[in-house]
Amino acid sequence: MRPALVTLGAVLAIASCASEPEREWMKVNERYTVEQFRRDHAECSRKGKLDEACMHARGWVDVKRPAEKPSPLPERPPGRY
């Protein structure tokens, strides 16, 4: 019974991590280190979820990835059909 509970807990933990979209953060016109980002990210994630307002207050900007455009349909070659 106990191994099943441990397995279930691990699965739930992994699923909860995957449910939040991955984001990239940067500071505009300012140098920063990975350690600074990790510190701010950890301090803004104290309740288990990232507080975006906290990150913005510390000067971080959310870098949004461009939406993937569907590939256009290939053009038909000239001629009669």
On whether the pTM is more than 0.75, the answer is no
Q: Is residue 60 part of a domain?
A: yes
Q: Is residue 81 part of a domain?
A: no
Identify the DSSP state of 62: E
State residue 11's pLDDT score. 47
Q: Is residue 53 part of a domain?
A: yes
Q: Is residue 4 part of a domain?
A: no
Residues 25, 28, 29, CA angle at the centre, nearest 5°? Answer: 145
State residue 59's pLDDT score. 95
Q: Which residues span the domain enclosing 40?
A: 22-64
State residue 10's pLDDT score. 53
Q: Is residue 54 part of a domain?
A: yes
User: How many domains is the chain partitioned into structurally?
Assistant: 1
Chunk the chain into consecutive blocks of 10 residues (it has 81) and report each block's average pLDDT, rounded to whole numbers: 56 51 86 95 90 94 75 71 61
